[in-house]
Chains A and B, each alone.
Chain A
Amino acid sequence: MPLPHHRANITYPQNAGRAQGFECPFKDCGMEHSTADCSIDVTLNKMVEVVKVQMAHSASNSANIPLRLDERLNMRNLIDTSIDVMPRSRVLHGSRIVSAFTMADMGELDYSSELSFTPLDPDLEETIKSLDVALAGDLREIIRGECECQVCYGLMVDPLTTACGHTFCRKCVARVLDHSTLCPACRRPLPMRPGATTEPSNKRMSHAIEGLLTDELAARIVAVEQEETLHEDGWMPLFPCTLAYPAMPTFLHIFEPRYRLMIRRVLESGSRKFGIIMYNARGVPQGSLGRSVFMQYGTVLHISRIEVLPDGRSILETHGLYRFRALESSMLDGYIIGRIQRIDDMPLAEEEAAEALETRGPVPVGDNHEARISHMSTQALLQYNLDFVARARTRSERWLHDSMLTAYGQPPTDPAIFPYWFASILPIAEDEKYLLLPTTSVRERLKMTARWIRVLEEARCARIRVMRLARPLELEVDEDEASQQDDDDSTVSTAEPETPEAAETADAQPATANSPQAFPSDQSQQQQ
């Protein structure tokens, strides 16, 4: 492996080894990789190990068969034709497969070369053939054993190898990431984005499976596709109601019969999943949906708990899984269904490159907030946000009410998740919060929340100045009165200095108001 070097200006994700990198020695790649993304391919090594054992066994059974192997070079693959390469010729023992393996194991067989075989004893031709047929069958079987995914117990489809060296189907890794950030095999952290869409496939494993288990793989792919059309990633019921985010809880009250039907079907199908979307109140065009009544980006929710009331209404406790974009929509028995496309964050390499690029230059001078936050490392951006929350807490701000923390938890320290938590509890305009959904860079999301903070703090300062001028001694009282007001139309970007408190207090009712006891929040999660 090439010598690693320090990768400057990369703070996210903060995993051991990500600060170290090396230039990829493979000519067709040549990229910089982080050492954390590199380790021994456990599954492939195991496969090679069992193949070796089988070969040794077969070799001992066919040690009395001498065979001449003549290498036929593949001229197209010779990189440097000026070197005079001579095709090799060896007499080895064993059947064709065994002797070819022996030659490769000796390091005398080029990857792209072919071989021709000549038995030294022509009478053994048939014996060799039958030995090879039997061995090929055995090899297929033992390799099949190593190509089984430990998550779905099927033949691996599109094998993806984790940084810790374990291999699973790509779809299975994606499912695991919906629930956990640890490798199922060794429980080490997976430095991956939800969805696992950007990591490369394991080419060697793919070739082995495609070449040796062709028919079974084809059957598996068909089965997987069928399972999928039954489940998600295709059409999904969409519930127009409110903003929701991945990794955050959303509490819903379902009373309209059409939505009761929708929820019942979602439960009966076993998927327990549906998409939640916001109304398109301003009639803004929504991509391929045109001027639809709802916004194109939403979040898939998983129903974790349901309480059905005696009159048929129900209260749902849901958990956000992933974001999506609706590509087209239709109606089914009164409710909306949409064909959706999952939205995941950009590859880590791109995220890291963006951070390194933006934070490279000298610290900007002056009071340009945008330049300042652009120059902050991703961890520093997170800290900037967390510091604001800590300050708000010392001021006992209403939106940080205990009941909110009970419902949404303490501020997450995962930079990818923090903005979702912040947006879930911060009382600012929904239009503004919605912009987190299409944003696929962790850094950009943190910059967005940092901009909100800037506006809120400026508004706060302006308000304190105004009040100091008017009635300096009654400042505390005034602030409390101000926060009693409610103004649904305010947005962060339009917060005017003369009514600055609006931005800070919109929607900020105590989380327990009007909500059933078991569900400690109602922040606009009631069905419309």
Chain B
Amino acid sequence: MALPKRIIKETERLMSEPVPGISAVPHEDNLRYFDVTIDGPASSPYEGGKFRAELFLPDDYPMTPPKIRFLTKIYHPNIDKLGRICLDVLKSNWSPALQIRTILLSIQALLGAPNPDDPLANDVAQRWKENEPAAIQTAREWTKTHAMA
């Protein structure tokens, strides 16, 4: 099927006006599939890390949200072992007026502000609530091990 104009435009804009600290590059053989890299935000336990993710635009996009998954291991209360992300705008709060750019910015913001009260990774959230400094230390170590090549 021909690629909708909207996806072509979004891709062009992502290329011509990239978001600082975020890159999203479509696959040549599947323009709905993007390789994503998100830099860990400054003064967060993820600072200095480069986190890889995959993003897929379903047939119904933008009526349904993009599907995104972290590929790099990350210690975060809202991201589970499989890299799935718990973020309202990727689910019930999606709106067709949102776009790849805004979604990736929301994810970057989520790295800067973990929310253990709305967890996806329960064990991580538990630890985050019980002993925040230790959890942050673990997140920092994971960043060093997995996200700094």
Q: Which A residues fall within an 8 A CB radius of B?
A: 150-154, 172, 175-176, 178-180, 182, 184-185, 187, 223, 227, 230, 269-272
**CA A151 to CA B64, docked complex, whole Å:** 12
**CA A359 to CA B95, docked complex, whole Å:** 38
In the complex, per-residue mask of B8-40: 1 if CB is within 8 Å of any chain A CB, else 0: 011000000000000000000000000000000
**B98: nearest chain-A partner, CB-CB:** A184
Q: Is the CB of A152 within 8 A of B6?
A: yes
Q: Is the CB of B96 within 8 A of A272?
A: no
Q: Is the CB of A184 within 8 A of B9?
A: no
Does B41 reach chain A (CB closer than 8 Å)?
no
Does B149 reach chain A (CB closer than 8 Å)?
no
CB distance from B66 to the nearest CB of A (A): 15
**CA A185 to CA B96, docked complex, whole Å:** 8
CB distance from A161 to the nearest CB of B (A): 15
- The stretch of B55-63, B103-111, B126-134, B135-143 that contacts the partner chain: B55-63
Residues A152 and B1 in contact in the complex (CB < 8 Å), given A175-B63, A184-B95: no
Interface of B is mostly: loop
Q: How many A-B residue pairs have CB under 8 A?
A: 44
CB distance from B16 to the nearest CB of A (A): 14
Q: Contact check: which of A150, A154, A179, A185 meets B60 at CB < 8 Å?
A: A179
Q: Is the CB of A150 within 8 A of B63?
A: no
**A154: nearest chain-B partner, CB-CB:** B5
**CA A175 to CA B96, docked complex, whole Å:** 10
Q: Is the CB of B9 within 8 A of A185?
A: no
**CA A152 to CA B62, docked complex, whole Å:** 8
Which B residues touch A270, using CB under 8 A? Answer: 1, 59
Selected A-B contacts with CB under 8 Å, 15 pairs: A150-B96, A152-B4, A152-B5, A152-B6, A153-B6, A154-B5, A175-B63, A176-B96, A179-B64, A180-B95, A187-B93, A223-B5, A230-B2, A270-B1, A272-B59
CB distance from A43 to the nearest CB of B (A): 12
Beyond A150-B96, A152-B5, A270-B1, 10 additional pairs, beta carbon < 8 A:
A150-B97, A154-B5, A176-B96, A179-B60, A184-B95, A187-B95, A223-B5, A227-B2, A271-B1, A271-B59
Ranked 4 nearest A-B pairs via Cβ: A270-B1, A184-B97, A153-B6, A184-B96
Which residues of B from 54 to 91 have beta carbons under 8 Å from A?
59-60, 62-64
Q: Is the CB of A178 within 8 A of B63?
A: yes
Which B residues touch A227, using CB under 8 A? Answer: 2
**CA A304 to CA B10, docked complex, whole Å:** 25
Which A residues touch B97, using CB under 8 A? Answer: 150-151, 184-185
**CA A269 to CA B96, docked complex, whole Å:** 22
**B8: nearest chain-A partner, CB-CB:** A153
Q: Is the CB of A153 within 8 A of B59?
A: no
Which A residues touch B60, using CB under 8 A? Answer: 179
Interface of A is mostly: loop
CB distance from B13 to the nearest CB of A (A): 9
Q: Is the CB of A269 within 8 A of B1?
A: yes
Q: Is the CB of B10 within 8 A of A153?
A: yes
CB distance from B61 to the nearest CB of A (A): 11
Q: Is the CB of A151 within 8 A of B96?
A: yes
CB distance from B15 to the nearest CB of A (A): 15
CB distance from B52 to the nearest CB of A (A): 27
- Scoring A179, A187, A227, A269 by chain B CB atoms within 10 A of each residue's CB, the highest score goes to A179
CB distance from A409 to the nearest CB of B (A): 16
**CA A352 to CA B1, docked complex, whole Å:** 42
**CA A182 to CA B96, docked complex, whole Å:** 10
Which B residues touch A272, using CB under 8 A? Answer: 59
**CA A180 to CA B9, docked complex, whole Å:** 24
CB distance from A46 to the nearest CB of B (A): 14
Q: Is the CB of A153 within 8 A of B9?
A: yes
Residues A182 and B95 in contact in the complex (CB < 8 Å), given A151-B62, A269-B1, A270-B1: yes
**CA A270 to CA B62, docked complex, whole Å:** 14
Which B residues touch A187, using CB under 8 A? Answer: 93, 95
**CA A268 to CA B62, docked complex, whole Å:** 19
**CA A441 to CA B64, docked complex, whole Å:** 29
**CA A175 to CA B2, docked complex, whole Å:** 18
**CA A176 to CA B10, docked complex, whole Å:** 19
Which A residues touch B9, using CB under 8 A? Answer: 153
**B5: nearest chain-A partner, CB-CB:** A154
**CA A387 to CA B10, docked complex, whole Å:** 49
CB distance from B96 to the nearest CB of A (A): 4
**CA A223 to CA B62, docked complex, whole Å:** 19
**CA A230 to CA B2, docked complex, whole Å:** 10
CB distance from A164 to the nearest CB of B (A): 12
Which A residues touch B59, using CB under 8 A? Answer: 270-272
**B7: nearest chain-A partner, CB-CB:** A153
Which A residues touch B95, using CB under 8 A? Answer: 180, 182, 184-185, 187
Which B residues touch A182, using CB under 8 A? Answer: 95
Which B residues touch A172, using CB under 8 A? Answer: 96
**CA A106 to CA B59, docked complex, whole Å:** 51
**CA A175 to CA B60, docked complex, whole Å:** 10
**CA A187 to CA B96, docked complex, whole Å:** 10
Which B residues touch A153, using CB under 8 A? Answer: 5-6, 9-10
CB distance from A512 to the nearest CB of B (A): 29
Which A residues touch B1, using CB under 8 A? Answer: 230, 269-271
Which A residues touch B93, using CB under 8 A? Answer: 187
**CA A179 to CA B5, docked complex, whole Å:** 20
CB distance from B122 to the nearest CB of A (A): 26
In the complex, per-residue mask of B91-125: 1 if CB is within 8 Å of any chain A CB, else 0: 00101110000000000000000000000000000
Which B residues touch A271, using CB under 8 A? Answer: 1, 59
Which A residues touch B6, using CB under 8 A? Answer: 151-154
**CA A151 to CA B93, docked complex, whole Å:** 16
CB distance from B27 to the nearest CB of A (A): 17
**CA A271 to CA B1, docked complex, whole Å:** 9
Which B residues touch A152, using CB under 8 A? Answer: 4-6
**B60: nearest chain-A partner, CB-CB:** A179
CB distance from A268 to the nearest CB of B (A): 8
**CA A152 to CA B1, docked complex, whole Å:** 16
Which B residues touch A230, using CB under 8 A? Answer: 1-2
